Structures are given as C-alpha cells and as structure tokens.
Amino acid sequence: MSYPYQISSKEAYQQAYQRSVTDPEGFWADIASHFFWRKRWDKVLEWNFKEPKIEWFKGGKLNITENCLDRHLGTLGNKPAIIWEPNSPEDDHRVLTYRELYNKVVQFANVLKNNNVKKGDRVCIYMGMVPELAVAVLACARIGAIHSVIFGGFSAQSIADRLIDANAEFVITCDGAYRGNKEIALKSVIDDALVQCRFVKKVIVLTRTRTPVSMIKGRDVWWEDEVRKVETQGNPDCPAVEMDAEDPLFILYTSGSTGKPKGVVHTVAGYMVYTTYSFVNVFQYKPGDIHFCTADIGWITGHSYIVYGPLGAGATTMIFEGVPTWPDAGRFWEIVDKYRVNILYTAPTAIRSLMGFGLGPLQGRKLDSLTVLGTVGEPINEEAWHWYDEHIGKKKSPIVDTWWQTETGGIMISNMAGITPGIPSYATLPLPGVQPILVDDRGVEIEGNDVSGNLCIKFPWPSIIRTTYGDHERCRTTYFATYDDMYFTGDGCYRDAEGNYRITGRVDDVLNVSGHRIGTAEVENAINMHAGVVESAVVGYPHDIKGQGIYAFVIFQGSHGDEKLNRQDITLTVSRIIGPIAKPDKIQFVNALPKTRSGKIMRRILRKIAEGEMDKLGDTSTLLDPGVVDDIKDGRI
Ligand code: PRX
C-alpha cells in the first residue's frame, strides 16, 4: 500500500465506507492526521444544514502549500511535480521538480507581497494553461490570498461581473494564450473588463505569446520584471501564512438556474484532505505514476485533480496547454506515449469528439503505459465508454466514471480503479464519507433499489461548499432549502438493483454543454441584450459530441430581414456577454413563446420540440394560446 489511507480491496472499501457513516469524525480525523498541521484541530466537525454552517477540523491551523510542497521536499525534491506539454508539439516541454515548483511559488508569493497582496484579498487569475498558472494559484494560497481563476474562454463582461462580485483588486494574466491554431489575446480581454472595474489596483502580466499589449502605468506590471526584483532582493524565503482550517482558499464561479453566476467558496483544510484522499483512492495513484488530467485549471476539475489533489499526494501531474484535435486528433495519444502517462482523466465530450476521427489517429500509438482511465463532467454514453475501454484502455485499464460538482470540491460517486467494479454509464458507488439519498419532489426519501429520484447528500463531507461569496442566503436557498436537512445536487439519479448510482442529468434549468455548466437564464439574458430581441427561451437538446447543445427560441424584431445575419449577430452578442462556450447551436425565430395564463414559459414543451419529440408534448391545454405550439413545431430547425 502506498498511502496510509489508500483503500486496497473491495472489502477495505466496504469497511471504510461503513466506518465513515458510523464514525465520520474518527474516520476523517485519521485521514487528516497524515497531513501537516501547524496546530491540530480542536473539533473534527460542527455543522447544520439549516444556515448552513459547516466547519471541518475546527481550530486547526495549516497552510495547504506546506502540504502540497514543503513536506515533499525531503523525499520528492528532485521528482517531477509538474510536466508541462505546450500547445505545439514542436515546442519544448518543461518539467518542474517539487523543489523547482516550491522555489517558483515562494518567489511569486514574494512578488504578490511586493505588490501589496494580503491575506484574504481576492486575486483573479485569467491565464492560459502554463505552469505559471499553477504557480500563481499556489502563491496565492501561500500568502492566504483567495484565488478566483476564470477560464480563458470567458468574455470581458463575464470577467468584469466576477471581479465586481468578488471585489478583486488584483489580476494575474498572460499577454496571450495558445489554443490549437488560435492565439487568444488574454490581456486585451482583461483591459476591456477593467474599463468597468476601476477598483483593480494591479495587473501582473506573464509573457507567453508576445501578443502586443497595452501596459497601463501604475497598474500593469510584467511578471518577469517583478520576479527579477525578487531575485535582486536575494530571493528571500516566503514563510507560508498560517491559515485557519475554515479560512477561504478560493472562489470559483459557476452557473446556476438564475442569470447570475455564483462564487462557490471552498475552505483550506477540508478541501485539502478530501481532494488528496479522493485522488489517491479513485485513481489508485502509486508514487511515480504520471497523472494526466486534460481539464483546464479554470474549472473545478483542474483545481482539484491537476493542482491540489495530486500535489497533496506528492504526485506527478501534467498540464497540457493545447487541445485534443490540434495539430491532429492524435494529440492526446502522442502525449500519453511521449511521457508514458499512467492515468488519463478526461471528459466524455472529448472522447466522443475523438471517436469521430476513427482509429487512424491511434495508428502507431502504443498506449501501453496506461493503467487507469477516468471520465468527468457529464454522463458518458455506453458507446463512448466502450470505445474508451477498447481502443484506449485495451480492455485492461479500469475506467472510473467520477460524478461530482464545483460545489462538492471533489469526486463524490465513482468506482475506485481496480478496487470496485465499473459499469458503463454508471458512476456506481459513493466514496467513503459521502451519503447519497434519493428523494421525490416533496423531499420524501425514496428507499430501496431500482428507483429514481432527485439526488441529495444527507451528511457533510470535508470539501462541501461553505458559502456563495458575498451572499450566504443564496447558498442556502440554492442548495439547502429545496429539501430539509440535505444538500441538493440539482441532478436526477437512478439507483439500480445492486445499489449502483447512475446520474441521469440535471433536473433544473442548467445545461451541460461539453461538460461545462451553463444556466439557461444566463444565455437568455445574453440573447436579450441584443437590440432586436424581444424575448427568448433557451433549452438543451441531445448533441452527438457536446452531450447537450443549446437551442434558442427567439422573438425578434430586428430592422432587417436577413435571418442568417440576425442569427450571427445574436451569437456574437452571447459571445461578448458570456463567452464563446455559451453560443447557441440553434436559433429559431418564433412569433410567440408558449406561455401559461400566468405568463410562465412552458419549457417542457420547448424542450420536447428541440429534442424532436413533437408527438410527446403532453398536456398543452393550460396554455394561453395553444396555437403558438404548432407554429413553433413547423419552424423547427
Ligand atoms: O450534472 C452533473 C454533471 O456535471 C454537473 C457538475 O458540473 P460542474 O460543477 O461544472 O463540475 C463538473 C466537473 C466535476 C453535475 O451536477 N456531471 C459531472 N460529472 C458527471 C456528471 N454527470 C454524469 N456523470 C458524471 N460522471
């Protein structure tokens, strides 16, 4: 066994699970004792879901970077912490050992201090997938600043909304980022965002693409210059700031069913313990293994399973700057062979997209280093699961289908590689510490097996969301008020005869497009910003590659009759307001939307039309004007 808390058999899983339910405090205290604490906690858990108020390892003092870096230096100092593969296979890769990563984090933490960043300050990070992104994240954690990473695909407006919500006075960015054959001018997007955010005091800019940028005197500084200043100060050490177990570690914005993204807050200790524990157990990490998670650090998957979980476990983690299909659809497989990757963790959407290229891109690839495969972000269809199993894992690598959320911080329901069996399209079993419950719409528990319901969790786990930044009431109403005394996930779920869980998708107005969460209300708000739009309604529909596509029904009163151009204008508006990830796949112009007499849009009907199930519209008699539906059906695209 490689880690003291590593589960090594099915029986051990069952025992651990049992104990985690009967003695949760003892269970987590044992695991937490394998981390480095400046001061041990006074109480393992204090909680109520009413407020909610959840405190893990109360009174404990620590710094997560001492756990991710300092404590490994003695044994792993010369071992690779991060392997970075650039966008272009022609460019040189980089390897940072634990010692080198530590040095860079300490150095950049001093840069932050020199720029007056203090404990508790919010720092927005908007960068491409370069090692410095991980360095920036960890440097914030070292000095107790709260990072808020924003995915590079979000627009200036989205960034501004997040900066304002978090009142973030500091920004770290790059001149630009490479993604496939594209060059994205990140700093210029930041500049556009900052027009609305005069309160931002400092922008630190890393050179990556040499895209021309405007540097504003007094506000913008170059990363490299700032590092040089620290070097001339003789590269001072940067002792980690002592953090309370429940001090915030980061904010990560995510979509919900209302129009405004919410800042999910995770705190230091519980998040650290849970991400490391779940990383080791789900992937069955063995020291020396190379872990390749293809997500972007701008999403929770990257936070938990590129940065914190792996580094907490002293693992070797990969950061890939590029995309799976450039320069060709064999890019992942090339990387797997080049570094002899052991664990590959990716999204069903990527698998489906690569499947579409056939087996050609796999020619000449060995893939024989792989031992564990993983998926995350959306339900995986059986066809994709089998393709992944057969052609990538060669039927010898277990696939872990990991269900979790930004709010859960870490993997909640999943098989454990080689320990508990995987079943195509099932996340299978809860991790120790996770107590799922299925309820009906009134919140009544649905007991027994072979049943479906709304998925809730009835007991806290260490990395549960603590609050939504600046608006605790929103956290309560969104997650803890739908049903009494439980956390509501927003997902529907089936439990089979053997007790395995299969996630069936969102039961709220949240879409899952290519594994990314997008609220329909958010897209509608963006569409409605277009001058010619009177009203719109957005629903999801099955999409072969993305899982779900975005279908928009729009009442339009534009000045010109060129439908194609109008569609393009609306798409561009969404791109500007949210970002390219939220662009509708289909836009249908309609004269009216199906509404009830009380004025509520009947999305159920629109969803059926978008799905092409026109004969299953159900009862339309409560509609104000049932004739509207026929018009919409006729105009379906
Ligand atoms: O609907 C579930 C789906 O993704 C949602 C969470 O999205 P997000 O917070 O962006 O985090 C994604 C990465 C953890 C969930 O509510 N989801 C996530 N993983 C799975 C999944 N659906 C089915 N199977 C999964 N393995």
Mean pLDDT of 470-497: 97
User: Strand, coil or helix: what is 267?
Assistant: strand
Atom 25 of ligand 1 has which residue's CA nearest to it? 403
* Tens digit of each residue's pLDDT (9 = 90 or more) over 265-301: 999 999 999 999 999 999 999 999 999 999 999 999 9
Return the closest-CA partner of residue 79 out of 62, 63, 100, 59: 100
Percent of the chain at pLDDT > 70 equals 99
Per DSSP, what are the bridge partners of residue 502?
Answer: 494
Distances (CA, A) of 328 to 336, 354, 358, 387: 15, 10, 12, 19
Please give the distance, rounded to the nearest whole angstrom, from the Cα atom of residue 162 to the centre of ligand 1.
Answer: 22
Q: Ligand 1 pocket, 298 CB below 6 A?
A: no
Q: Ligand 1 pocket, 312 CB below 6 A?
A: no
Atom 4 of ligand 1 has which residue's CA nearest to it? 377
Task: Supply the pLDDT for residue 616.
Answer: 85
The residue count for the chain: 637
* Tens digit of each residue's pLDDT (9 = 90 or more) over 368-416: 999 999 999 999 999 999 999 999 999 999 999 999 999 999 999 999 9
Distances (CA, A) of 501 to 356, 428, 509: 28, 5, 22
Task: Supply the pLDDT for residue 625.
Answer: 86
Q: Give the predicted TM-score (pTM) of the model.
A: 0.97
Per DSSP, what are the bridge partners of residue 20?
Answer: none
Task: Supply the pLDDT for residue 173.
Answer: 98
The DSSP code sequence of 337-398 is: HHHT-SEEEE-HHHHHHHHTT-SGGGTT---TT--EEEEESSPPPHHHHHHIIIIISTTTS-
User: Strand, coil or helix: what is 291?
Assistant: strand
Residue 561 pLDDT level (bands cut at 50, 70, 90):
confident
List of residues 6+ apart from 396 with CB closer than 8 A: none
List of residues 6+ apart from 562 with CB closer than 8 A: none
Q: Ligand 1 pocket, 404 CB below 6 A?
A: yes
List of residues 6+ apart from 618 with CB closer than 8 A: 604, 605, 608
Task: Supply the pLDDT for residue 286.
Answer: 97
Task: Supply the pLDDT for residue 260.
Answer: 86
Return the closest-CA partner of residue 72 out of 344, 310, 345, 341: 310
Q: Ligand 1 pocket, 503 CB below 6 A?
A: yes
Residue 559 pLDDT level (bands cut at 50, 70, 90):
low
Cis status of the peptide bond prior to 327, with omega within 30 of 0: yes
What is the DSSP-derived secondary structure letter of residue 431? Answer: P
Q: Are 112 and 145 in contact (CB under 8 A)?
A: yes
List of residues 6+ apart from 77 with CB closer than 8 A: 97, 98, 99
Task: Supply the pLDDT for residue 548.
Answer: 95
Please give the distance, rounded to the nearest whole angstrom, from the Cα atom of residue 234 to the centre of ligand 1.
Answer: 46
Cβ atoms within 10 Å of 287's Cβ, excluding its own: 13
Task: Supply the pLDDT for residue 618.
Answer: 83
Q: Ligand 1 pocket, 420 CB below 6 A?
A: no
- In terms of DSSP bridges, do strands 53-58 and 43-48 run parallel, antiparallel, or are they unpaired? antiparallel
Euclidean distance between CA atoms 71 and 80, whole angstroms: 15
Q: Ligand 1 pocket, 509 CB below 6 A?
A: no
- Can you tell me which residue has the tokens 């690779």? 80
Euclidean distance between CA atoms 267 and 244, whole angstroms: 9
Q: Ligand 1 pocket, 402 CB below 6 A?
A: yes
Please give the distance, rounded to the nearest whole angstrom, from the Cα atom of residue 319 to the centre of ligand 1.
Answer: 21
Euclidean distance between CA atoms 329 and 411, whole angstroms: 28
Q: Are 208 and 128 in contact (CB under 8 A)?
A: yes
Euclidean distance between CA atoms 410 and 418, whole angstroms: 20
Mutate to test the pocket of ligand 1, among 303, 304, 405 (most ligand atoms within 8 A of CB): 405
As a whole number of Å, the end-to-end CA separation of the chain is 56
Euclidean distance between CA atoms 468 and 478, whole angstroms: 10
CA-based R_g, the chain, Å:
24
Q: Ligand 1 pocket, 296 CB below 6 A?
A: no
- Can you tell me which residue has the tokens 């969102």? 506
Return the closest-CA partner of residue 418 out of 368, 367, 369, 372: 372
Q: Ligand 1 pocket, 70 CB below 6 A?
A: no
The CATH number corresponding to 112-238 among 3.30.930.10, 3.30.1490.20, 3.40.50.980, 3.40.50.300 equals: 3.40.50.980
Euclidean distance between CA atoms 436 and 440, whole angstroms: 14
Written as six digits, the tokens of 439 are 């309820």
Euclidean distance between CA atoms 609 and 629, whole angstroms: 9
Q: At what angle do helices 131-143 and 98-114 cross, to 10 degrees?
A: 60
Atom of ligand 1 nearest to the CA of 299: 10
* Tens digit of each residue's pLDDT (9 = 90 or more) over 413-428: 999 999 999 999 999 9
Distances (CA, A) of 337 to 230, 367, 392, 528, 558: 38, 6, 12, 47, 53
Distances (CA, A) of 160 to 125, 361, 509: 12, 40, 24
Task: Supply the pLDDT for residue 151.
Answer: 96
Q: Are 632 and 590 in contact (CB under 8 A)?
A: yes
Return the closest-CA partner of residue 171 out of 121, 214, 238: 121
Q: At what angle do helices 10-22 and 24-32 cross, to 10 degrees?
A: 120
Written as six digits, the tokens of 172 are 């770290």
CATH class of 510-634: alpha beta
What stretch(es) of the chain map to CATH 3.40.50.980? Answer: 112-238
Atom 26 of ligand 1 has which residue's CA nearest to it? 403
Averaged pLDDT score across all residues of the chain: 96
- pLDDT above 60 for 1: no
Task: Supply the pLDDT for residue 64.
Answer: 98
- pLDDT above 60 for 437: yes
Euclidean distance between CA atoms 250 and 616, whole angstroms: 45
What stretch(es) of the chain map to CATH 3.30.300.30? Answer: 510-634
- Can you tell me which residue has the tokens 């791109």? 575
What stretch of H or E contains 43? strand 43-48
Atom 24 of ligand 1 has which residue's CA nearest to it? 379
